[in-house]
Amino acid sequence: MISTGSIAEIQDLISEFKSEGKKIGFVPTMGALHQGHLSLVATAKEKVDIIVCSIYVNPTQFNNPDDLKKYPRNIEADKDLLEKNGCNILFLPSDEVMYAGRNTITFEFGDLDNVMEGQFRPGHFSGVALIVSKLFNIVLPDFAFFGQKDLQQLTIIKKLVEELFFNLEIVTVPIKRETHGLAMSSRNERLSKTEREEAKIFYNALLEAKSIIKEYHSANKAKEKVKSLFEDHIANLEYFEIVSDKDLLPKTENYLATDTVLCIAGFIGNVRLIDNLYVNDIN
């Protein structure tokens, strides 16, 4: 695996591979890698010849400075994992490389970034869109791989690719879960053993809501059930929504359609967790 923090160097490497007719797959990450990230790499191996991964903790997508400061960083362990799992090129840029000078560009996505995460994390998706645009322009991949766990981010990135005519295909990879159902996340590292066990309430709530939607076709019943599960629990529910994956707007009918997804977010202690589940998911 070749590792570099230089834009010129990574572009030279990728240009050489492309001249040989190689297909390029890109897996952008913020590090603190887990099996969810590695599932992106594994999916990429099935579709492309050369896998490029990046590790960069992007400051412009953190609306909470304390969250940025506490975000886990395990660069050496991450590099070892990526090399063992088939990454060919690792891009490790610095803030000086990615933000040479003051950033003045912002993005807006209408309703897509005003609901759910956007409501509680103002400016977050503008920062995501900015760094993803930069990375896409640097790597120029044929395919880019993203996890379903960050569903709103995924929807916005698809819109970004469509609106800015990026010549690449976005590939969605299903959520990887721990044994008791907790969606894998780098933030899970900040949970204590007790908190990690208690955090399964988020997935259990999604399963309960899914069952109610399928039986009663009622968003209100599902929301009432989820709210009741969090009463007197150490976890704090921030939101639970039933939306279409096409526009992230609340569903008011056709709850059993293939686009219906249940989205949830909340806190265990100081750690914020998100998850989602399609009503038609076989799990």
Which residues have CB under 8 Å from 61's CB, separation 6+? 123, 124, 125, 127, 128, 131
Query: Is residue 150 annotated as involved in ligand binding?
Result: yes
Angstrom distance (rounded) from CA 104 to CA 82? 33
Query: Is residue 269 annotated as involved in ligand binding?
Result: no
Query: Is residue 61 annotated as involved in ligand binding?
Result: yes
Query: Is residue 152 annotated as involved in ligand binding?
Result: no
Query: Is residue 119 annotated as involved in ligand binding?
Result: no
Angstrom distance (rounded) from CA 231 to CA 54? 40
| Beta strand pairing call for 89-91 and 271-278 | unpaired
CA 88 to chain CA centroid, nearest Å: 22
Query: Is residue 33 annotated as involved in ligand binding?
Result: yes
How many Cβ atoms are within 10 Å of 5's Cβ, its own excluded? 15
- Known catalytic residues? 37
Query: Is residue 36 annotated as involved in ligand binding?
Result: yes
Query: Is residue 130 annotated as involved in ligand binding?
Result: no
Query: Is residue 30 annotated as involved in ligand binding?
Result: yes
Write the single-letter amino acid at 30.
M
Distance, first Cα to last Cα, the chain: 36
Binding residue positions for ATP: 30-37, 147-150, 184-187
Binding-site residues for (R)-pantoate: 61, 153
Binding residue numbers: 30-37, 61, 147-150, 153, 184-187
